[in-house]
Every structure is written in structure tokens, then in C-alpha cells.
Amino acid sequence: MNILNRIVSVILFLALIVLLVLAAVVPWTVIDTAVATLQQARTLLEARWPLSYLVFLAVAIVLVLIFAATLWFELRPQSKKTLSVSTAGGAQVEVDANSVQKGLESRLIQIPNVYKVRPKVRGRRGGVDVTLELETAPEVDIPSKVDEVSMAAKELIQSRMGLNVSNIKVLIKHGPPGKYVEPVVQAPPEPQVTPVAVPPVAPPEPTETPPQAQQ
């Protein structure tokens, strides 16, 4: 339905643009053509009355319904896409598809040499079908990278979300050389030790021993 709405919208906008351009370039020609068309329509409408009026009314109703339906499908609130799947224990669970996709994107973008992730998930009776579109560095080993990404996605969905994975499809696209640069992690500077001056310790004062009494 979204494709049909876009097609109708594009056709209407193109027709409106052409009409406005013609009206701006040759306004009198457009006005004369419109007047002649309306006069001809009036003549046809009066010639076969009331049959012509019924045809005109039917066409008008159909066009109004088409435009109203197109506008409704474009402006209606979109419902959340949920995945109805069965867990490993056999329970039925509904999970927001956007949450699963964001979780996969956050997890897989941490894998080295993976620069872009576009996950798509679809629920089915036996679990979840996952499609991963990746953009990686040109020098990556594709088989090993596919295994690494698949294991990470499967671990996230099954271990942390409790969902079954039916199928994982990985599509890899190499980015142009030099497009992405790995961030250079600099070692933290060594702490500087400032010597602390120790004050000199004064020698202990001599103590006087009292004289012993003579016997």
C-alpha cells in the first residue's frame, strides 16, 4: 500500500508542477484551454441529461475516494512492528522489532573492521529470521568475519533475549580504501612524581642526670 500511495502522490505532484509551469509561461493559453474544456464538458453534460450527470457523479465519487484513501494511508499512525515468536521453553512472546534491531546494531558495531550495520529481523513460527547488511574494511577475511558476526548475533538473540534464531543471512559490502580510519588509542601519560622536601630532624637534647646522694 505504501508503494501505491507513493505512485499516486508522485503522479499528482508531477501533474501539478506541469500545470503551474504552463500557467506561469503561457497563462492566456492555459486559461483559454480551461474555458474551452469546461464549455465542452457543459455541452456534453446537457446533451445526455441525466445519464451524463450520473457518469460525472460516479467519476467524482471514485476520485474523491481514491484521494481520501491515499491521504489516510499516508497520515494514519503507524503501529509498532512486533515479532511473535516462541521461546526455547515454548512460551509465546511478542518483542518490538526495533528493539531487536537496535540491540543487534549496538552489539555488532563493536566488532573490529565493521563500520556499518543494518539489521533486519522478521518473526516466523519457528523463531526469528535475521538479515545483516554490513560495511567492512576491504582487507577483512569474509568467511571468518561472517562466522564472527553470526555467532555474536545468535548469542545476543538467544542468550540475552531468549528467542530462537531460525536463519541468519549476512550481506557484506566493502567500503572504499581509506574511508574509515581506526581510532588511535593513546596511552595515558605517566604520572609525574614531585619530590617532597623532608625537613631535617633535630638531634635529641641531652638530658641531665641528677647527682646521687653520698652515703
108 contacts: CB under 8 Å, gap ≥ 6? 114, 117, 119, 132, 134, 149, 152, 153
99-103, Cβ contacts within 8 angstroms, sequence gap of 24 or more: 100/128, 100/157, 100/161, 100/163, 103/156, 103/160, 103/161
Domain boundaries, given as residue ranges, for the chain:
2-75, 82-174
Report pLDDT for 181.
Answer: 54
Ordered alpha helix ranges (H), the chain: 2-25, 27-47, 51-75, 97-108, 142-155
The predicted model gives 59-67 an average pLDDT of 87
Report pLDDT for 116.
Answer: 87
Judge whether 173 and 134 are in contact, CB under 8 Å.
Answer: yes
Q: With cut-offs at 50, 70 and 90, classify the pLDDT of residue 88.
A: low
The predicted model gives 16-41 an average pLDDT of 87
pLDDT at 64 over 50: yes
| Rounded CA separation 173/186 (Å) | 30
Per the listing, cell 623532608 goes with 198
Judging by beta carbons within 10 Å of its beta carbon (0-12, 13-18, 19+), is residue 163 exposed, middle or buried?
A: buried
Q: With cut-offs at 50, 70 and 90, classify the pLDDT of residue 89.
A: low
Tell me 130's DSSP state.
E
The predicted model gives 85-106 an average pLDDT of 75
Report pLDDT for 62.
Answer: 92
Q: Average model confidence (pLDDT) for the chain?
A: 77
pLDDT at 162 over 80: no
pLDDT tens digits along 116-147:
889 888 877 767 888 888 888 888 888 888 89
Q: With cut-offs at 50, 70 and 90, classify the pLDDT of residue 87.
A: low
149: left (phi > 0), else alpha (psi -120 to 50), else beta? Answer: alpha
Judging by beta carbons within 10 Å of its beta carbon (0-12, 13-18, 19+), is residue 165 exposed, middle or buried?
A: buried
Residue 5 CB neighbours (<10 A)? 15
Judge whether 130 and 119 are in contact, CB under 8 Å.
Answer: yes
What residues does 169 pair with on adjacent strands?
131
- What is the model's pTM? 0.46
CATH fourth-level superfamily of 82-174: Cation efflux protein, cytoplasmic domain (3.30.70.1350)
Report pLDDT for 215.
Answer: 47
3-state secondary structure of 114: strand
